[in-house]
Amino acid sequence: MEMKKGHMTHDTRTRDNAALEVSIGKLRLKNPVILASGTAGFGKEIKDLIDINKLGAIVTKTITLNKREGNPPPRIVETPSGLLNSIGLDNDGLKDFCFKKVPHLERLKIPVIVSIAGDSTEEFLKLTRELSKIKCVKALEINLSCPNVIHKGTKCRFLAQDKIAVRKIIKKIRKTTSLTLIAKLSPNVTDIGAIAKEAQKAGSDAISLINTYPGMLVDTDTMKPKLGNITGGLSGPAIKPLALKCVWDVYNTVKIPVIGMGGIMDWRDAIEFILSGASAVQVGTANFINPRAPLEIIKGIKEYLGKRKIKSIKSLVGKLRT
């Protein structure tokens, strides 16, 4: 039967949409594109610009138990190929999150993943217990990798550099909740696969990577660092090849799904991550340049599958032709 140009049957639409579905732990995402933590203002700012419900899921900015002021300004500077930030987990704490942010998040029709961080194990566990009681919270992303804060439980710069600390913390969080757990790792380690393996062993349902790379910039006129905190974390196109390598390494080490991010600006970048082993992707820095980027990425992935007659995005995961 000939179809009118520009008209799709209900069947074709359902099939096209099913082609993009992915699972991460207990989460069922209608497509593999997720908003990355800290880059879309809890979906509140971005909500006026795009229809968030078209995305696979959203990760909130990292919250901590108590309010944190974050680092001194300037906290974000542009580089020729990305952003350098030292926000330092500025947030108003759990109580404020529950009263002010949850009512907005409850209205979303897509899974809400809450990113959490703590100065101590007890702080992580308290956040886990409280967030597990909130209906719209479907998963926790455990931020083990913020380069701008120091955790008391480890001698390392951040938790994700210490595999024993990663194992201990994920194990305790696992015992505290039945929510889907995603361990967010840092690229600033010697062997990221080994760290991911510990998170898997401890009960994490997925691994997300990468957080930013530590970096700094200097103003030659003032002879001062460009960031108030001196150092910060680099994101955006500059880190994409490095992030892809991390995703490939982790994909080849663990059995749980990998969520890839780091410099994904368009659909081709997303496909590169998926071929390298990512079951889903997160988009961060791209939102600052083009808030429609995540939606354009979904469209691009859909067309890529269509053109190549690939039935499901799942069949592309890790299918790099080596």
Ligand X SMILES: Cc1cc2nc3c(=O)[nH]c(=O)nc-3n(C[C@H](O)[C@H](O)[C@H](O)COP(=O)(O)O)c2cc1C
- Active centre residues (catalytic): 146
d(CA 125, CA 190): 28
Q: Which residue in 25, 66, 67, 76 binds ligand X (CB under 6 A)?
A: 76
Piece in contact with ligand X (CB under 6 A), picked from 24-32, 49-57, 83-91, 215-223: 83-91
The residue (of 19 and 182) whose beta carbon lies closer to ligand X is 182
Q: Which residue in 211, 229, 276, 279 binds ligand X (CB under 6 A)?
A: 211
Q: Which residue in 46, 57, 83, 244 binds ligand X (CB under 6 A)?
A: 83
Q: Which amino acid is at 317?
A: V
Q: What is the CA radius of gyration of the chain?
A: 19
CB of 239 closer than 8 Å to CB of 277: no
The residue (of 19 and 124) whose beta carbon lies closer to ligand X is 124
Told to check if 36 binds ligand X by CB under 6 A, we report: yes
Told to check if 115 binds ligand X by CB under 6 A, we report: yes
- Find, among 269, 271, 204, 259, the residue nearest to 236 by Cα: 269
**Beta carbon of residue 264, minimum distance to ligand X (angstroms, whole number):** 5
Q: Which of residues 263-322 bind ligand X (CB under 6 A)?
A: 263-264, 283-286
Q: Which amino acid is at 254?
A: V
Characterize 171-194 residue by residue with b for buried, 16 or more Cβ atoms within 10 angstroms of its Cβ, and e for exposed.
bbbbebbebbbbbbbbbbbeebbe
Q: How far apart are the first and last CA of the chain?
A: 40
| Tokens standing for residue 284 | 């961060």
Binding mask 157-186 for ligand X (x = CB under 6 A): ---------------------------x--
d(CA 130, CA 179): 12
Told to check if 262 binds ligand X by CB under 6 A, we report: yes
CB of 128 closer than 8 Å to CB of 140: yes
Q: What is the 3-state secondary structure (H, E, C) of 89-133?
A: CCECHHHHHHHHHHHHHHCCCCCEEEEECCCCHHHHHHHHHHHHC
Piece in contact with ligand X (CB under 6 A), picked from 35-43, 106-114, 154-162, 199-207: 35-43
Number of shown-chain residues binding ligand X (CB under 6 A): 28
Q: Which residue in 31, 64, 71, 85 binds ligand X (CB under 6 A)?
A: 85
**Beta carbon of residue 125, minimum distance to ligand X (angstroms, whole number):** 19
Q: Which of residues 37-66 bind ligand X (CB under 6 A)?
A: 37-39, 61-62
The contacts of residue 257 (CB under 8 Å, 6+ apart) are 22, 23, 24, 25, 205, 206, 207, 279, 280
Backbone angles phi, psi at 115, to 5 degrees: -90, 130
Told to check if 142 binds ligand X by CB under 6 A, we report: no
Told to check if 71 binds ligand X by CB under 6 A, we report: no
DSSP 36: P
Q: Which residue in 86, 180, 235, 253 binds ligand X (CB under 6 A)?
A: 235
Q: Which residue in 64, 71, 86, 143 binds ligand X (CB under 6 A)?
A: 143
| Tokens standing for residue 165 | 């600390």
Q: Which residue in 20, 24, 55, 87 binds ligand X (CB under 6 A)?
A: 87
The residue (of 43 and 284) whose beta carbon lies closer to ligand X is 284
Backbone angles phi, psi at 214, to 5 degrees: -60, 140
Helix, strand and coil percent figures for the chain, each rounded to 5 = 35, 20, 45
Told to check if 212 binds ligand X by CB under 6 A, we report: yes
CB of 19 closer than 8 Å to CB of 313: yes
The residue (of 88 and 153) whose beta carbon lies closer to ligand X is 88
- Select the residue whose beta carbon is closest to ligand X and give its number: 38
Binding positions for ligand X, rule: CB under 6 A: 36-39, 61-62, 76, 83, 85, 87, 89, 115, 143, 146, 184, 211-212, 235-236, 239, 261-264, 283-286
